[in-house]
Structure 1
Amino acid sequence: MKRRSPPTSARSRKATAWSYSAEFRAIADAALRRFNSQRHLHPICGAKAKSTGEPCRQMPAKGRTRCKLHGGATPRGDGPAGWHTPGFPNGLPTGKPRSDAYKVRKRRQRRAAIAAMTADELARLEAWRRTHKSGSTRDRSHGRYAREARQWLEAIMNESPTAPTPDQLELNALRAKLHAHIAHLDAEIAAEAEGEALASNLFD
């Protein structure tokens, strides 16, 4: 361990002498006793400590709910000072793929390009606008996929039924026989219940 060299300036020597004086130690001890007596009133970190597996008892960092060892010292906010937050020259994105400043700049460039077009170029642009639906490329693609899906469903629903196969005919015959048998059993159960009701009425 490198030995610390003694202070050279008079002010530094005076501050060092004061920090080693009995009066300074008495003030520090009183401050520590006062802090320890009120520590149970302050919030604690509460994160699970890896060394012991118990909740951490350290004081949280200023303005945070965790201590500096459990994420309380992690930078927050926007810009390069934030955690995993890139800095942009025209501001941060607003939760969208591109920032509002970028969109404003692109709209300004598009208006300038349209203003600089010739009569023929403007005519071609108007013709293109008449044949294309307004909106973003994503919205147009979504609409196209929706139309294709709707046409596919309509084609399936409008298909004429095909002739049943021999296996399907056999299954339909078995299904009809089962339905007839179930109907016969239901009729027998209803008749038995009616007979029991008549018998109970005779002896009442």
Structure 2
Amino acid sequence: MKRRSPPTNGKRRKPTAWSYSAEFRTIANAALRRFNSQRHLHPICGAKAKSTGEPCRQIPAKGRTRCKLHGGATPRGDGPAGWHTPGFPNGLPTGKPRSDAYKVRKRRQRRAAIAAMTADELARLEAWRRTHKPGSTRDRSHGRNAREARQWLEAIMKEAPNAPTPDQLELNALRAQLHAHIARLDAEIAAEAEGGALVSGLFD
């Protein structure tokens, strides 16, 4: 007769003298040999192992096609959408979903709270509604950033140009000399074609 261990209630059981006894090891070895002799009859997980890249050789979880390390332990729901759908013992409920009733109740409570507000509270509520547009926080943040960027660009476009610095004046003078030199080169090329004299060099 096999000796059964007491339930652990989810807690880790401390080792006892029975788990170290020769009888326990004999029973465990026999169970392992029996399992290994029938292991080839069980299906395998088949998922790609990250460590070796080969198919996983573990036995799938009960009622699943993958082992517990490759999604076999993920809970499943009764709905067609997957595990995140609630599972009801007798199928889907026939009445309205709870979320609709919750929305109706919250809407009724909101209307009652607004009806009980004073004039000052209503004014603050209207001011809040003007500054807080409907929509998600992300959409409002994107719109706010776009408005700030547009205002910044408009302010830059309206600003008067700054007075040129000495470095800019020097660059403008050099640019004028370069344009004059290019004009002299063009004249030199034209004069050479006609047999005339060469034009002097740059910055003479």
Compute the TM-score of the two structures, normalised by the length of structure 2: 0.42
More helix by share: 1
CA distance 1:10–1:131, shift in 2 (3 Å): closer
Alpha-carbon distance in structure 2 between the residues aligned to 1:192 and 1:49: 81
Residue 61 of structure 1 contacts residue 72 of structure 1 at CA under 8 Å; is this kept in 2? yes
Higher mean C-alpha displacement, 112-121 vs 191-200: 191-200
Alignment partner, residue 75 of structure 1: 75
- Secondary structure of the 1:54 match is coil
Residue 74 of structure 1 contacts residue 83 of structure 1 at CA under 8 Å; is this kept in 2? yes
Alpha-carbon distance in structure 2 between the residues aligned to 1:157 and 1:180: 33
1:70 Cα offset (Å): 2.3
1:111 Cα offset (Å): 0.3
1:164 Cα offset (Å): 0.8
Query: Unpaired segments of 5 or more residues in structure 1?
Result: none
- Secondary structure of the 2:161 match is coil
1:161 Cα offset (Å): 0.6
Query: Unpaired segments of 5 or more residues in structure 2?
Result: none
CA distance 1:194–1:111, shift in 2 (3 Å): farther
1:109 Cα offset (Å): 1.7
1:153 Cα offset (Å): 1.6
CA distance 1:70–1:151, shift in 2 (3 Å): closer
Alpha-carbon distance in structure 1 between the residues aligned to 2:152 and 2:30: 83
CA distance 1:56–1:158, shift in 2 (3 Å): same
Equivalence map 1:6-155=2 (5 Å)? 45-49=45-49, 54-58=54-58, 60-61=60-61, 66-77=66-77, 104-117=104-117, 145-155=145-155
CA distance 1:94–1:54, shift in 2 (3 Å): farther
Higher mean C-alpha displacement, 5-14 vs 156-165: 5-14
Alpha-carbon distance in structure 2 between the residues aligned to 1:91 and 1:99: 18
Higher mean C-alpha displacement, 63-72 vs 104-113: 63-72
Higher mean C-alpha displacement, 129-138 vs 79-88: 79-88
Higher mean C-alpha displacement, 86-95 vs 59-68: 86-95
Superposition RMSD in Å: 12.4
Alpha-carbon distance in structure 2 between the residues aligned to 1:121 and 1:68: 56
Residue 75 of structure 1 contacts residue 82 of structure 1 at CA under 8 Å; is this kept in 2? no
What is the aligned residue count?
Answer: 204
Per-residue Cα deviation, 1:117-142 (whole angstroms, up to 9, x for no partner): 46786677668768986778877676
CA distance 1:170–1:46, shift in 2 (3 Å): farther
CA distance 1:130–1:33, shift in 2 (3 Å): closer
Residue 93 of structure 1 contacts residue 99 of structure 1 at CA under 8 Å; is this kept in 2? no
CA distance 1:78–1:142, shift in 2 (3 Å): farther
